[in-house]
Chain A
């Protein structure tokens, strides 16, 4: 006893993208044909038997970390060079972000700099001028940095940068908090990782500067975030 439709019908039954009408047609036949109906039931049972699998714990292994470390020692000298000076623009951009978010006003007077937090009286204009000043100050340095980054053809940093950029296209305070959190987390984890995290931040610096104008606008119509 067999049904000519069984094979084709059941094969299609397991398709990923079955059109609704095709699905309906199959169901219709399954309801009326006992052979196909019970065959499907048996197949589904076999499938669900498989799904009783309980994940087993992975035995201990070194995860290729030794190999990884061995192969990455080779390029140690360049990272050493990168280590110290990449902090400069990074620190600058953190400072900038702090200024934006804490609404800090930096007033350069005769006695030097004075810094106040959450001072709402700092006008938009004043802010803009600080921003411009900051940009001027950093432009050359950052340009040099960008050039070097590009020189290294560091496609992987670019990958991370791109991820950050995609996400920050719609900048919200929330997003920036998360960027903070993300890099802060990295920093705390361990020193080795910190280098990488900051590297990425350096890479994103250029874009940060470009979006500062947007940020400034954003801050200007928001209450201070904290």
Chain B
């Protein structure tokens, strides 16, 4: 029963200066953004960096949010751009077109280390996520982003095309190409049951 879209109410309050509303707004969306970051970067410190940049972007542009789109879609758009920026700066998950085992190890060691910080998390789940990151790591960022937006965030090809400034057809082709690559690794490694 939301009388008013809860995001809209929180945004209005935050713009009015309520730190409480801002924090609540962040809390509502941080998990999605953090997990997106994990899948895009493969490690939690980059995921944290990305998440912080995303919310800084949200904070700086909140007054521009017009409410004609869903707030979460708007956040994904910011996340998309921040990920592209970040990739330009530091080459996220540098294992593009695979073959570089050393980088692979660095990334997944750091994930393994994270799991020590969270003893309550089941190791199995962690391994499953690691495998997924490993699969995604073979994709160039723009394909990884399409997979992220399509599979995990259920965005439409229209929305994705708009974000990446490509045609809808190109978006579809990229997604198909990405899936084909993922198919190959998942068959090669038999990574998941």
Instruction: Tell whether A136 is near chain B: CB-to-CB under 8 Å.
Output: no
Q: Is the CB of B19 within 8 A of A58?
A: no
In Å, the complex CA distance between A163 and B183 comes to 46
B-binding segment of A59-67, A208-216, A217-225: A59-67
B residues in contact with A164, CB < 8 Å: 3-4
Category for how many chain B residues contact A: 35 or more
> Of residues 166 to 225 in A, which have CB atoms within 8 Å of B's CB atoms?
167, 175, 178-179, 181-182, 186, 189-190, 192-193, 195-197, 199-200
In Å, the complex CA distance between A15 and B156 comes to 8
A residues in contact with B76, CB < 8 Å: none
B-binding segment of A25-33, A43-51, A96-104: A43-51
Q: Is the CB of B8 within 8 A of A53?
A: no
Residue of B nearest to A49 (CB): B192
B residues in contact with A79, CB < 8 Å: 17
- Encode A67-91 as 1/0 by CB contact (under 8 A) with B: 1110010010001000000000000
A-binding segment of B22-30, B77-85, B89-97, B100-108: B22-30
Instruction: Tell whether A54 is near chain B: CB-to-CB under 8 Å.
Output: yes
A residues in contact with B117, CB < 8 Å: 59
Residue of A nearest to B155 (CB): A16
Q: Is the CB of B132 within 8 A of A50?
A: yes
Q: Is the CB of B56 within 8 A of A64?
A: yes
In Å, the complex CA distance between A69 and B22 comes to 10
Instruction: Tell whether B165 is near chain A: CB-to-CB under 8 Å.
Output: no
B residues in contact with A157, CB < 8 Å: 12, 16
Q: Is the CB of A50 within 8 A of B182?
A: yes
Q: Is the CB of B26 within 8 A of A63?
A: yes
Q: Is the CB of A43 within 8 A of B183?
A: yes
Most buried by A among B4, B5, B55, B156: B4
Most buried by A among B11, B12, B31, B176: B12
A residues near B (Cβ < 8 Å) are 7, 10-12, 14-17, 42-43, 45-47, 49-59, 61, 63-65, 67-69, 72, 75, 79, 154-157, 159-160, 163-164, 167, 175, 178-179, 181-182, 186, 189-190, 192-193, 195-197, 199-200
Given contacts A53-B129, A65-B23, 13 further A-B contacts (CB under 8 A): A7-B176, A45-B183, A47-B182, A50-B136, A53-B152, A54-B129, A64-B26, A68-B14, A68-B19, A175-B3, A195-B18, A200-B12, A200-B16
Q: List 21 A-B contacts (CB under 8 A).
A: A11-B173, A12-B172, A14-B150, A15-B172, A16-B156, A16-B158, A47-B182, A49-B186, A50-B136, A51-B151, A53-B129, A54-B128, A56-B35, A56-B44, A68-B59, A75-B17, A156-B63, A160-B4, A164-B4, A167-B3, A196-B21
